[in-house]
Amino acid sequence: MKIDILTLFPNMYDNFLTESIIKRAILDKKVTINIHNIRDYSKDPHKKVDDYPFGGGAGMVLMPQPIFDAVADLRKDNSYVILMTPQGNTYNQKKAYELKNKKHLIIICGHYEGFDERIRTLADLELSIGDYILTGGELASMVVTDSIVRLIDGVIETDSHLNDSFNNNLLDYPTYTRPADYNGLKVPDVLLSGHHENINKWRYEQSLKRTKERRPDLLGED
């Protein structure tokens, strides 16, 4: 998979790309991630990328030209263009599984007070990571990229994400490690029993209980 990210703040990705699982996925060639500075595509002599909104109002608006040119430069037949915006569809794990099957993602990060409405025509999908406003789409693009890359075959053990919260619309069950008794806080006996059938049953029940208590909406019960 290849992911091209368009941003005005490429340095924000430095640590994201050079730590932990994302770093390893890149080194193992499971994914190629390129960060592109939108400003590099500006045809303005001063590399301007934003301007005042027609009709007045606060803040500056991202101009269409640099983004249209960047997408034209990067887009191939199999590309899928995502625009990060609080006005998009709310992102979730189901969407992450869908996007992991794309060969090429182009992710556009909005910034400042907004972007020219015509930029929307470039997008196959508009995504929001939640009902709050970030200063720009950069953090949101990292959230989406991270959640997709960890699902790519061979990036982490498949078992790890089969048990993830939100698979089967259930939250994950509780897990424990050594010691079996930490200052009187005990690990449930069933997990020490070695009886796999009972362990699986307990885990499923715990998942269900936790989901009912914390996220009844996932069960269609709110």
Task: Kindly list the residues in this chain that would bind ligand ADE in the complex (CB under 6 A).
Answer: 84-86, 110, 128-130, 132-134, 136-137, 140
Write down the residue that tokens 């990210």 correspond to.
5
Write down the residue that tokens 């990328």 correspond to.
49
Indicate the burial class of 221 (C-beta count within 10 angstroms; 0-12, 13-18, 19 or more): exposed
Smallest gap from Cβ 105 to ligand ADE, in A, equals 15
Contact 152, 1 (CB under 8 A): yes
Q: Which residue number, 66 or 136, has a Cβ lying nearer to ligand ADE?
A: 136
* Active-site hit among 4, 66, 138, 150: 150
Q: Which residue number, 41 or 91, has a Cβ lying nearer to ligand ADE?
A: 91
Contact 128, 86 (CB under 8 A): yes
Q: Is 174 a catalytic residue?
A: no
Amino acid at the residue 183: N
Smallest gap from Cβ 18 to ligand ADE, in A, equals 23
Please provide the size of the chain in residues: 222
Q: Which residue number, 54 or 132, has a Cβ lying nearer to ligand ADE?
A: 132
* Active-site hit among 164, 172, 174, 210: 164
Smallest gap from Cβ 5 to ligand ADE, in A, equals 13
* Active-site hit among 98, 113, 124, 189: 113
E-strand stretches of 38-73:
50-51, 61-62
Q: Which residue number, 3 or 84, has a Cβ lying nearer to ligand ADE?
A: 84
Q: Where are the alpha helices (DSSP H) in the chain?
A: 14-17, 20-27, 64-74, 93-99, 138-149, 158-162, 189-192, 196-214
Q: Is 216 a catalytic residue?
A: no
Q: Is 113 a catalytic residue?
A: yes
Residue least distant from ligand ADE (Cβ): 140
- Which tokens belong to 27? 């080194």
* Active-site hit among 4, 50, 66, 86: 86
- Which tokens belong to 5? 């990210």
- Which tokens belong to 181? 């008794």
Q: Which residue number, 61 or 84, has a Cβ lying nearer to ligand ADE?
A: 84
Q: Is 153 a catalytic residue?
A: no
Active site residues: 86, 113, 150, 164
